[in-house]
Amino acid sequence: MIHQDSEKLKMTTVFQAKENVRQIPVTQSKWSSRFIWAAVAQGLVAAIVTLLIVEPQTYFGINSYFNPGMVLAGGGGGVWMFTGYVLYLVVGVVAVAVTAMFYFYIEGLLGKQYHGFSNLLAWGHYLFMNIGVAGSMLLMTYGGYIAGYDAAPVAMGGRGFTDLQIHVTYLGRLEYWIGGFVILAVIGAVLGGLGFVLRSRQK
């Protein structure tokens, strides 16, 4: 009799454990997948930019454009280029990939799928953040490269421009565009955070 009761208790425990496992929502997160693919796309762009900076064709004696290494070493505009490049890697690639984990936590682990207003917030987060980060950081990288090229002496292949000429001709104009893209990225981040809060509190 005791043996039968023990067996029943074991069977009940096993069934309860199985039921608890079934209650854990493990579903695919559509927004997590979208942000992962966005990070892959941003990573591809970053790889192309890195390839242009490294300038591998010089090993074959081909010099098709001004050496980006000289821009970085020259300071001035090179600071813009370095800052834009590093921030693009950190925010455009790594941060976008990490964002996918937040969406997976809400949709995949908590089982709370985005729909309605929260889905619109997620779209705003996805579009504004990716466009804003890519636009601002790539423009900063490009502007820094052009500024470094213009500031380099003519004897070294540059244009010998003064800092004032460079600012008026290029950097001064790019500041507004870069600022606009940064604001767009911040709006996207705010929309995403608002979506996280709303969706996590809803049942």
Instruction: Indicate whether 17 belongs to any domain.
Output: no
Other CB atoms within 10 A of residue 174 CB: 19
Instruction: Indicate whether 91 belongs to any domain.
Output: yes
Please compute the mean of the pLDDT values over residues 144-157 and round it to a whole number.
Answer: 83
Residue-level pLDDT at 77: 75
- Which range marks the domain in which residue 41 is found? 27-201
Instruction: Indicate whether 10 belongs to any domain.
Output: no
Please compute the mean of the pLDDT values over residues 165-172 and round it to a whole number.
Answer: 81
Instruction: Indicate whether 80 belongs to any domain.
Output: yes
The better pLDDT of the pair 147, 163 is held by 147
Whose CA is closest to 148, among 51, 93, 71, 36?
Answer: 71
pLDDT category at 69 given cuts 50, 70, 90 is: confident
pLDDT category at 62 given cuts 50, 70, 90 is: low
Residue-level pLDDT at 104: 92
Task: Give yes or no for residue 15 having a pLDDT over 50.
Answer: no
pLDDT category at 6 given cuts 50, 70, 90 is: low
Instruction: Indicate whether 4 belongs to any domain.
Output: no
Distance of alpha carbon 142 from alpha carbon 20, whole angstroms: 54
- For the stretch 30-56, pLDDT in tens is 999 999 999 999 999 999 999 888 876
Distance of alpha carbon 131 from alpha carbon 141, whole angstroms: 15
Instruction: Indicate whether 20 belongs to any domain.
Output: no
Instruction: Indicate whether 193 belongs to any domain.
Output: yes
pLDDT category at 2 given cuts 50, 70, 90 is: very low
The better pLDDT of the pair 11, 116 is held by 116
- How many domains are contained in the chain? 1
Whose CA is closest to 195, among 100, 96, 124, 109?
Answer: 124
Residue-level pLDDT at 79: 86
Instruction: Give the position of tokens 């001709």.
Output: 169
Task: Give yes or no for residue 26 having a pLDDT over 70.
Answer: no
Sign of the C-alpha dihedral, residues 24, 28, 30, 34? positive
Instruction: Indicate whether 19 belongs to any domain.
Output: no
Residues 6+ positions from 2 with CB-CB distance below 8 Å: none
pTM of the model: 0.78
